Structure 1
């Protein structure tokens, strides 16, 4: 599996391209501010063709380039319906628990708290690894802002049950693992 990530925009939001392999279809996750050119560059470097855009939530630093990229490539943008009022482009409802796209089986978990429609995307890699893209729900060493009680429940119920070796690809900052975050969050509001 190919994972390409980069930070873009004033808030340095992470954008990811996920593909079964180089030289084929991919999905683009959270193309935020100033992400059009870096996405184009990554597509060219890895000979990828985007088939869809997946949004973890509707904040501008994660969605600002989605409309331009969707229009340029004629691809759908998937977003949880609870965040539709935040996004000024046409989107498809991301309300199920799985989405098959670009040769990938993407698990979808609704994790309200940062926004009402925040979601995480889970993938198993062919190499036996596990990934979860958490947007602004879980970072290395912290959780996002928003409705803290709702967010704590979402992290506790949806993310912490994942295996320790699950790699967390957050919306800002570097990668971590569920095991590392479980230890860091132990004793806090999320661990209850």
Structure 2
């Protein structure tokens, strides 16, 4: 299995392409200006996209979701509590951020599949377990997948904007809730082993153990 990530657009949102040995792949959070790079990497590696996975509905994570999903004819997966943002991303933005849309129109991908806490999504040999982790947004989810490494099986979490290196997701956008976010981190992230890798929506990767030890926002947990 291979996971390739790159930051895209003005928000530098991490878009990830997860693939297995057969060439099946999924694209996670294709944000602003990610489509061209996704298409290039998929083409160069000879991959077959099977799905677009969305950790939540904020604009910087779904900007190119419709274009990528419909280009490959694959469904986009999102939690129902954030689905309305696919066609109206302003609902997840503050008034000042909404102004940047400047009349831009957004539509849902042709096929949208809603995901829920406890779901398992299988694409080829890849199995993604879904955790509902609200707080940053009502419908935030993380996708857990086990990958083989030289040290044996290892958990990798595609975490969206919930837990970062030395930080946590912002809660000052509409429907954000700090208390709910911290509960999500405690219940879904801190129960994982220290060596579990977190691939966040922005910034560098980290591990659960590192954040458990040094993240100042988690001291009370």
TM-score range, shorter chain: over 0.9
Q: Is 2:99 aligned against 1:74?
A: no
Aligned residues: 190
The ranges of structure 1 where at least 4 consecutive aligned residues each deviate by more than 3 angstroms after the TM superposition are 188-191
1:120 counterpart residue number: 142
TM-aligned CA deviation for residue 191 of structure 1: 3.9
Q: TM-score, normalised by structure 1?
A: 0.94
Provide the secondary structure at the position in 1 that maps to 2:212.
helix
Q: Per the alignment, do residues 74 and 139 of structure 1 end up closer, same or farther by CA in structure 2, a change over 3 Å counting? A: same
Q: Tell me whether 1:59 sits opposite 2:29 in the alignment.
A: no
1:170 paired with 2:169, answer no
Contact 2:165 2:215 in 1 (8 A): no
Q: Deviations over 1:118-141 (max 9, x none)?
A: 000101013312100110001111
Q: CA deviation at 1:163?
A: 0.5
Structure 2-normalised TM-score? 0.82
Q: Which residue of 2 aligns with 1:130?
A: 155
Distance 1:154 1:190, change over 3 A: farther
SS at match of 1:129: strand
> Quick check: 1:19–1:102 contact (8 Å CA) kept in 2?
no
Gapped regions of structure 2 (runs ≥ 5): 88-107, 172-176
TM-fit CA distance, 1:33 = 0.4
Match of 2:18 in 1: 18
In structure 1, stretches of 5+ residues that fail to align are: none
- Measure, in 2, the Cα distance between the counterparts of 1:101 and 1:20: 9
Cα-to-partner distance string for 1:11-32 (whole Å, 9 max, x where unaligned): 00000000122x6110000001
Cα RMSD for the two superposed structures: 1.4
2:129 corresponds to 1:104: no
Aligned pairs (5 A) from 1:11-50: 11-21=11-21, 24-50=23-49
Q: Which has the larger radius of gyration?
A: 2
Distance in 1 (alpha carbons) for counterparts of 2:125 and 2:47: 12
State the alpha-carbon separation in 2 of the partners of residues 26 and 189 from structure 1. Answer: 33
Deviation of 1:189 after TM superposition, in Å, equals 5.3
Matched residue SS, 1:86:
helix
Q: Is the 8 A contact 1:56 1:134 kept in 2?
A: yes
